[in-house]
Every structure is written in C-alpha cells, then in structure tokens.
Amino acid sequence: MSAKEIIISSVDSERIRKKIMDERAKTGYLSKELKLLLDELNRAKVLKPEEIPSDVLTMHSRVRLHYVSNGKSLEIQIVYPEEANVQEGKVSIFAPIATALLGYKKGDVVDWPVHNNIMKVKIDEIIYQPEAEGNYQL
C-alpha cells in the first residue's frame, strides 16, 4: 500500500474492527489480508461520519475505477462480508481490492496487491457515498 493519508469514519472503523475480531474468534487467527486491513485502519485518519468529505470512499460507497495498465473499468460497492455479492458488484471489505480502496479519494491511484504483483487502479468517480447523502449509520 502507498503511504498516502486515508480517511475513515469512526462508525466504519469501529464496525470493521469488530468484524475482524469476530473473524479471529471464529477461525482462531488473522489472515494476512485481515492483518493488512487492520494496519490500514490503524494508520487512517478517523473522522466523525458527518465530517467525511464527499470524495472519500467509505463503507457502502459505490465507485467506478479503472486499471491504469489497460484502461478497463469496473464498478464496485464496498460492503461488510455478509453483504458481499459478486453478481451485484458488492465486494467485501475483507477482499484485497476493498482494503486497498477504503479511505482514498476520487482521482487517487491506488496500489492493489494481486498475487505477487501490484495492480494500479484509479478512482474515477464515487457514484454513491452514504455520508454525502446524510446516511451516517449505514
């Protein structure tokens, strides 16, 4: 991951941490993906939901992005694990792409670790962000 500042709402941070601890309690360990997510949470600037800028990717945000290498675009929504649905483009926060994107802003180029490579994706548009719509508890 790059060291650029990321912003996360206090509600998202608290809920994600609880999901990580629930997963650890269930499996008895933390996967490297969840350790990476925890590292991201620990370095994030945490703000009250109503203080989150509208161009920041938060939980339940729907985003359009593209691969820098080939220009191919995709649209995803970052959700909690139990809400994930590939057919609907809902990607779990436990997935590496969601961990990589959370807290970044429109226009940012983000490093996404895929196997032994780093893919670069650019955030083109935040189609929906709950905080911008006044949905502070989503």
Residue 91 lies in a domain: yes
Flag residues of the chain having pLDDT under 70: 1-3, 138
Supply the CATH number for residue 82's domain. 3.10.50.30
User: In this structure, is residue 138 part of a structural domain?
Assistant: no
**85 in a structural domain:** yes
How far is Cα 115 from Cα 96, in angstroms, rounded to an integer?
A: 10
Query: Maximum CA pair distance of the chain?
Result: 40
The answer to the question of residue 135 being in a domain is no
Please report whether residue 2 resides in a domain: no
Domain for residue 103, yes or no? yes
| The model's pTM | 0.90
Amino acid at 52: I
What domain range includes position 55? 7-130
Domain count for the chain, please give it: 1
Q: 46 has which bridge partners?
A: 8
> What's the pLDDT score for residue 136?
76
